[in-house]
């Protein structure tokens, strides 16, 4: 575990790097820093053991008011505890598709990224090693230079059948263990509270990130960055109702895309894109009755379908990634055909819109939300209408059983780009307005992907700190 | 207010009727659930000691669980028919809930598909007993 430090001692030190937050983005940035630096991690939440977090519903979740003009319920997940959302994620770790990085050039939507899939390849691979990812069989869609650290989980019977018949169905890469230092996943279906701690979390892997010279200042809120003339000199924190300054040569903001934006706004940085383009995926869960036997897979989600994503025209409708659930999944209430029901989640990309944004209400963040882009819903509708293209058997019934209000991904409020006029940070996650400030996490995403963001945001963080000299 | 002999007898009678009703309807729930299992998986499985053990545990679970299906089961089977018209027809939801847990708690699917021995592995309640999903690879 990172060594604790008191506020008094933290204030008495001139730190090489101060990092805000302790979830994926922050801690993978820490991991890649050159040796020998003094590093302070500032976390607002407490440190809790895995068993203390189990079955707390909801997780300790910071509430942010939302001015929701969308006409649909909207939620966000912001876990306020050491390790952040790594404690309550599901462990889905697909890489982004190569086309996700240049959607504007290819399809005329959103923005291109200033980095490419190839730029991230080595960082992807390193994060997969650290997280002990289980996967395989998807190289024809997601190119990679080496094997996954661990083999994919046993497919469900439906995944085995689908993968045999269609190369666009592939095993799902996951941080739910199938070998390595953690317990092997046994398909409980309650991954957000994995009772056997089988999925990677910052908490259960913290020793990999512990290093000489790194300390944890917990239960302390980051308020704003102190800067002058384009150079950050420290961080203002709040503890015990009072503000204090911690001096730093470099600052990494890894709170999340809501609180990173709030910190930048409080710091009086001026980029017009700060706080804007908040987005995440939309999704529906469907039950599909079809003569394919299901179940008996090794983990909760055993397969991914790329039919509406790989080599897919995204000009006028969103790409959609399909997740085939082994558990939780429903039994078909039909004698002798109990397992002939698939539970599939369709996840669609969104187009980031400037009106969806984080603003300050006094000193606190507030979300202004006009809703997901119609493009995202059009992608879901297209996938629903064309589901039969993804299954070699007759679809006897298809029902939407759930429309989640969030995918628990907060993205886009500090977008990366080469142009300071339209972006907040550069390709190395450095703030255009102060290049010794790194703004980490999915806030950097200038476009959406239907794939889960964790592996990519961790790879971006690692790449950024590896580039630091 | 003075309690008359008549009102005392009336109240006592109502209490007896109410207690009996709860007992009868709870017992009725067990029989009904067993009937659902029999409809799907046949009398041999439904009337086995393994299923009996499952039903014992499942009824305890229903009493403890605060989820919608458990609430519906406890209300519907005890207050039916007039109290909550919105719950009419809730049998299908309760049946669905029970069968989901039954299929993950027992080897009933494999028994039906392959003739494997029918066994009850303990109630599938992953927060309490995580690695008992009988529809997972670990069960094969």
> Which segments of A155-195 are extended strands (E)?
169-171
Q: Residues A413, A358: contact at Cβ < 8 Å?
A: yes
Q: Measure Cα distances from B70 to A20, B29, B60, B76 in Å.
A: 43, 12, 10, 10
Q: Output the pLDDT for position A222.
A: 98
Give the residue from A266, A221, A264 showing the smallest Cα distance to A363.
A266
How far apart, in Å, do the first and last CA atoms of chain B sit?
68
Testing the interface with B: which of A171, A174, A187 to mutate, by most B Cβ within 10 A? A187
B133/A336 CB distance under 8 A: no
A297/B137 CB distance under 8 A: yes
Nearest CA to CA, how far is A151 from chain B (Å)? 15
Q: Output the pLDDT for position B69.
A: 63
- The dihedral over CA atoms of A325, B101, A177, A131, expressed in degrees to the nearest 10, equals 60
Q: Output the pLDDT for position A261.
A: 98
Per-residue confidence band for B1, with pLDDT thresholds at 50, 70 and 90: very low
Nearest CA to CA, how far is A76 from chain B (Å)? 23
Nearest CA to CA, how far is A261 from chain B (Å)? 36
B136/A187 CB distance under 8 A: yes
Which chain A residues are closer than 8 Å to B127 by Cβ? 54-55, 190, 193, 195
Residue A62, CB-side half-sphere exposure with 13 Å CA sphere = 19
User: Which of A196, A298, A338 lies closest to B103 in CB terms?
Assistant: A338
> pTM for this structure?
0.92
Question: Residue B68 pLDDT more than 90?
Answer: no
Nearest CA to CA, how far is B100 from chain A (Å)? 6
A186/B131 CB distance under 8 A: yes
- For chain A, say whether B82 makes contact (Cβ under 8 Å): no
Q: Output the pLDDT for position B19.
A: 41
Q: Residues A340, A332: contact at Cβ < 8 Å?
A: yes
Size of interface A-B (CB pairs under 8 A): 68
Q: Which helix (H) or strand (E) holds A244?
A: strand A242-253
- For chain B, say whether A336 makes contact (Cβ under 8 Å): yes
A195/B127 CB distance under 8 A: yes
- With a CB cutoff of 8 Å and minimum separation 6, the contacts of B3 are none
Q: Output the pLDDT for position B60.
A: 86
- For chain A, say whether B121 makes contact (Cβ under 8 Å): no
A338/B95 CB distance under 8 A: no
- With a CB cutoff of 8 Å and minimum separation 6, the contacts of A237 are A7, A42, A217, A220, A221, A222, A223, A243, A244, A245, A246
d(CA A424, CA A444): 8
Q: Residues A280, A85: contact at Cβ < 8 Å?
A: no
- Phi and psi angles of residue A362, each rounded to the nearest 5 degrees, phi first: 70, -125
B103/A330 CB distance under 8 A: no
Q: Where are the alpha helices (DSSP H) in A284-398?
A: 374-385
Question: Residue B17 pLDDT more than 90?
Answer: no
Count of Cβ atoms closer than 10 Å to residue B51 Cβ: 23
Nearest CA to CA, how far is A294 from chain B (Å)? 9
Residue B114 CB-density burial (10 A; 0-12 exposed, 13-18 middle, 19+ buried): exposed
Helix (H, G, I), strand (E, B) or coil at A305: strand
- Entry field: residues in chain B: 140
User: Which of A188, A296, A333 lies closest to B130 in CB terms?
Assistant: A188
- Minimum CA–CA partner of B41 in chain A: A335
- For chain B, say whether A57 makes contact (Cβ under 8 Å): no
Dump pLDDT digits (tens) for A136-164.
999 999 999 999 999 999 999 999 999 99
The A residues from 153 to 182 touching B (CB cutoff 8 Å) are: 153-154
- For chain A, say whether B38 makes contact (Cβ under 8 Å): no
- With a CB cutoff of 8 Å and minimum separation 6, the contacts of A27 are A41, A202, A209, A254
User: Which of B40, B103, B126 lies closest to A188 in CB terms?
Assistant: B126
Long-range contacts of A183-187 (CB under 8 A, 24+ apart): A185/A153, A185/A298, A185/A299, A185/A300, A186/B130, A186/B131, A186/B133, A186/B136, A186/B138, A187/A297, A187/A298, A187/A299, A187/A300, A187/A326, A187/A327, A187/B133, A187/B135, A187/B136, A187/B137, A187/B138
- Minimum CA–CA partner of B42 in chain A: A335
A326/B39 CB distance under 8 A: no
Q: Output the pLDDT for position A61.
A: 73
Which chain B residues are closer than 8 Å to A295 by Cβ? 109, 135-136
Tokens of A41: 């991690």
Testing the interface with A: which of B133, B139, B140 to mutate, by most A Cβ within 10 A? B133
Which chain B residues are closer than 8 Å to A336 by Cβ? 112
B137/A196 CB distance under 8 A: no
Tokens of A140: 């024809």
A326/B95 CB distance under 8 A: no
- For chain B, say whether A190 makes contact (Cβ under 8 Å): yes
Testing the interface with A: which of B111, B137, B138 to mutate, by most A Cβ within 10 A? B137
Testing the interface with B: which of A54, A152, A296, A327 to mutate, by most B Cβ within 10 A? A296
Per-residue confidence band for B29, with pLDDT thresholds at 50, 70 and 90: confident
Per-residue confidence band for B93, with pLDDT thresholds at 50, 70 and 90: confident
Pick B87 or A47 by higher pLDDT: A47
User: Which of A188, A333, A336 lies closest to B96 in CB terms?
Assistant: A333
Cis-peptide into A169, omega within 30 deg: no
The per-residue DSSP string of B35-50 comes to HHHHHHH-HHHHTSHH
Residue A226 pairs in a beta bridge with A234
Nearest CA to CA, how far is B75 from chain A (Å)? 23
Query: Which residue matches tokens 């494999």?
Result: B110
- For chain A, say whether B67 makes contact (Cβ under 8 Å): no
Q: Report strand pairing: A320-325 vs A341-348.
A: antiparallel
- Phi and psi angles of residue A349, each rounded to the nearest 5 degrees, phi first: -65, 165
Q: Output the pLDDT for position A76.
A: 86
Q: What angle separates helix B91-105 from helix B49-64, to the nearest 10 degrees?
A: 120
Query: Which residue matches tokens 């979300």?
Result: A367
Which chain B residues are closer than 8 Å to A195 by Cβ? 126-127, 130
Tokens of A466: 């590896």
Which residues of chain A register pLDDT less than 50?
58
- With a CB cutoff of 8 Å and minimum separation 6, the contacts of A61 are A77, A78, A79, A80
Mean pLDDT, chain A, whole residue set: 96
A188/B131 CB distance under 8 A: yes
């Amino acid at each position: 575990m990172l060594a604790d430090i008191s506020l008094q001692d933290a204030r008495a030190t001139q730190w090489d790097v101060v990092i805000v937050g302790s979830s994926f983005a922050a801690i993978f940035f820490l991991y890649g820093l050159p040796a020998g630096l003094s590093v302070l991690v500032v976390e607002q939440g407490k440190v809790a053991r895995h068993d203390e977090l189990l079955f707390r519903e909801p997780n300790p979740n910071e509430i942010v008011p939302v001015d929701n003009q969308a006409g649909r319920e909207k939620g966000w997940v912001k876990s306020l505890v050491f390790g952040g959302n790594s404690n309550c994620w599901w462990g889905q770790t697909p890489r982004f598709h190569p086309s996700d990085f240049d959607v504007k050039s290819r399809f005329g939507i959103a923005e291109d990224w200033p980095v490419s899939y190839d730029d991230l390849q080595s960082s992807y691979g390193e994060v997969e090693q650290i997280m002990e990812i289980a996967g395989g069989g998807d190289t024809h869609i997601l190119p990679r230079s080496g094997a996954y650290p661990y083999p994919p989980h046993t497919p469900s019977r439906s995944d085995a059948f689908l993968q045999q018949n269609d190369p666009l169905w592939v095993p799902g890469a996951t941080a739910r263990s199938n070998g390595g230092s953690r317990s092997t996943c046994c398909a409980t279906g309650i991954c957000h509270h994995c009772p056997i701690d089988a999925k990677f979390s910052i908490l259960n892997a913290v020793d990999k990130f512990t290093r000489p010279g790194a300390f944890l200042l917990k239960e302390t809120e980051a308020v704003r960055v102190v800067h002058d003339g384009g150079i950050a000199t420290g961080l203002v924190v709040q503890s015990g109702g009072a503000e204090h300054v911690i001096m730093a040569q470099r600052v990494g903001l890894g709170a999340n895309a809501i609180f990173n934006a709030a910190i930048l706004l409080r710091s009086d940085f001026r980029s017009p894109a700060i706080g804007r383009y908040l987005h995440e995926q939309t999704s529906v869960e469907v039950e599909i009755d079809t003569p394919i036997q299901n179940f008996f897979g090794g983990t909760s989600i055993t397969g991914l379908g790329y039919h509406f994503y790989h080599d897919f025209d995204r000009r006028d409708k969103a790409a959609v990634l399909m997740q085939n659930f082994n558990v939780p999944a429903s039994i078909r209430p039909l004698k002798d055909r109990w397992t002939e029901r698939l539970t599939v989640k369709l996840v669609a990309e969104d187009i980031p819109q400037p009106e969806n944004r984080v603003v300050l209400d006094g000193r606190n963040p507030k979300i202004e939300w006009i809703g997901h882009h119609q493009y995202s819903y059009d992608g879901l509708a297209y996938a629903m209408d064309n589901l039969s293209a993804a299954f070699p058997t007759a679809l006897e019934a298809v029902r939407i059983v759930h429309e989640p209000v969030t995918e628990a991904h907060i993205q886009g409020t500090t977008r990366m780009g080469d142009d300071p006029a339209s972006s907040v940070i550069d390709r190395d996650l450095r703030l255009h307005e102060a290049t010794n400030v790194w703004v980490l996490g999915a806030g950097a995403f200038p476009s959406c992907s239907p794939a889960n963001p964790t592996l990519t945001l961790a790879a971006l963080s690692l790449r950024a700190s590896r580039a630091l000299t | 207010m003075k309690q008359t002999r008549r009102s005392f007898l009336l109240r006592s009678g109502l209490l007896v009727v109410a207690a009996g009703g709860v007992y009868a309807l709870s017992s009725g729930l067990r029989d009904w659930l067993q009937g659902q299992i029999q409809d799907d998986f046949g009398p041999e499985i439904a009337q086995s000691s393994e299923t009996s053990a499952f039903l014992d545990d499942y009824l305890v679970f229903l009493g403890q669980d605060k989820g919608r299906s458990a609430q519906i089961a406890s209300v519907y089977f005890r207050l039916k028919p007039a109290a909550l018209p919105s719950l009419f027809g809730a049998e299908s939801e309760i049946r669905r809930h029970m069968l989901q847990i039954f299929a993950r708690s027992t080897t009933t699917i494999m028994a039906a598909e392959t003739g494997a021995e029918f066994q009850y592995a303990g109630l599938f309640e992953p927060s309490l007993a995580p690695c008992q999903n009988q529809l997972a690879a670990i069960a094969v």
